[in-house]
Amino acid sequence: MTTQASHLSTGIAGLDAILGGGFATGALIFIVGPPGSGKTVLGSTIIFTVARSEIPSLILSAYSEGHDKLLQHLQGFTFFDPSQIGTMVRLMSLNDILTEEGGVNQLIDTIRAERAQFVLIDGFQGLLPLSRDPDSVRRMLSSLSSQLSYIGVTVVVTLAGDVHDLQFHPVLTTADLVIGLHYGLEKLNHVRYIEVVKVRGQAQLPGLHPYQIQATGLRVLPRIESYPEPSTRPRPSGRAPFGLPEFDELLQGGLTAGTTTVLAGAVGSGKTTLALHWGLQGAQPDAVSIYVTFREYPEQLQLKSETFGLRLAEATASGALRIVRIPPVELVPDEVANTLLDMFHTLQVRRLIIDDIGLLLRALGDRARDYCAALVEHFYGEGVTTLCTMESNPLEGPWLNLTDQPVALLAENLLVIYQEESAGRVRHLLTVLQMRFSSFDRSLRELTMDANGVRVLDA
């Protein structure tokens, strides 16, 4: 639970990352966003995370619908623990406490009486019309913050509105941490972004980061471009062979370990099957291969592998190869990146296949170049050898020009499968166009795939 001295985790790994390590105890925290953006869900996630560490907490609601409706809404989330209600988590109405006569002192007396160390004030704007007298609100919050910070109480306040609205600036100056939630439409899709507008004493990840509301609560997906440059492990030496002697001979023994390769070819040229074959070579539970697919389901890949004599079922059963399918509909590139980084941190990953990188690039739009550059940095830092498949125009033959294209950043090595009609049949020809850190043979080879397996023959 505790991430560092005097800091607490939010319970959301991605949010802790963009905050630079959770939040300070005794802080005044504002969560600002429009209706439906997830302010209450975020605040409640934090409070139940804190409660699991046996820190007495208090929810003060300014909404008129009462606590029953709040609890009813929270029951659908896995972070909600009803056994904490009335023990570690108490609920009270802010309207009943914060009267004109009592003001801040009455609120502080209530918090002291409840022995709360963490307080969520939910729906603050429902109690005080900020636009009428922002200075009095700022003074009240400043007094509340200083007195509660002195006794080590952390306060989270949710506020409806736009975090960059000038009317909120006098109020937000009192905060130690300001989190902005953004919720709206991009074309036909609802999108959500989270932003750390202000944090004292911590190095946050700047900019907007996508987030999703799931059964577990908020899932925050930090943009991979915003991460600091990863610490580099010793670069792996040697080769990452395909296990196809005739092809590995062209590559001087295989792909250079720790590099990134693009395998291009037309639809039906055998990219997926060749990539699977490479991923299975040397895959072990302590030297894992990850196969990321946007199109085919794991069951379809299993069927394909059986057709061509590949032992995929055995490798997936042992954990030596992990299949990660991410649906291509409304693809979120940051979900791909964060899924990979999580697996890099928990598994000993040696090989990675992304099938097909073109779908990811189209979803990225103008971000593609920076995103690809950041991916390569992380692949290099983790010592992972990567193979990305990409569809190419069948009319291009072996001549593939990636100049000025974002995918060129991933093409330290470039392999091409192209199709040629010969003697009444279509042949798949395989060639190496580039290996940035190695010599290679430019000869053509024929790629064949049948029940006997994947083979590479002299052309």
Determine contact, residues 312/276, Cβ cutoff 8 Å.
yes
Share of the chain above pLDDT 90, in %: 60
pTM: 0.86
Name the pLDDT band for 85 (thresholds 50, 70, 90): very high
- What gap in Å lies between CA 337 and CA 225, rounded to an integer? 10
Domains belonging to the chain, first-starting first, are 2-222 (3.40.50.300), 239-458 (3.40.50.300)
Phi and psi based region of residue 17 (left: phi greater than 0; alpha: psi -120 to 50; beta: remaining) = alpha
CA–CA gap between residue 364 and residue 334 (Å, rounded): 9
Q: Alpha-carbon distance 267 to 273, whole Å? A: 12
- Count CB-CB contacts under 10 A for residue 203: 10
Rounded Cα distance, 323 and 277, in Å? 14
Whether the per-residue pLDDT at 372 is higher than 90: the answer is yes
Return the pLDDT at 100.
55
Banded model confidence at residue 174, pLDDT cuts 50, 70, 90: confident
pLDDT tens digits, 86-124: 999 999 887 777 665 556 788 888 888 889 999 999 887
Quote the pLDDT of residue 236: 73
| Structure confidence by residue, pLDDT tens digits, 400-449 | 777 778 888 888 999 999 888 777 788 889 999 999 999 999 999 999 98
CA distance 105 to 13: 35
The upper half-sphere exposure of residue 155, i.e. CA atoms within 13 Å in the direction of its Cβ, equals: 24
Which of 377, 407, 7 is closest to 228 using CA atoms?
A: 377
The pLDDT value recorded for residue 128 is: 55
What does the mean pLDDT of the chain come to? 88
Q: What is the pLDDT of residue 1?
A: 43
Mean pLDDT of 258-275: 92
pLDDT at residue 192 in the model: 95
Q: Please answer whether residues 138 and 124 qualify as being in contact, where contact means their C-beta atoms are separated by less than 8 angstroms.
A: no
Range of lowest pLDDT (69-83, 184-198, 230-244, 248-262): 230-244
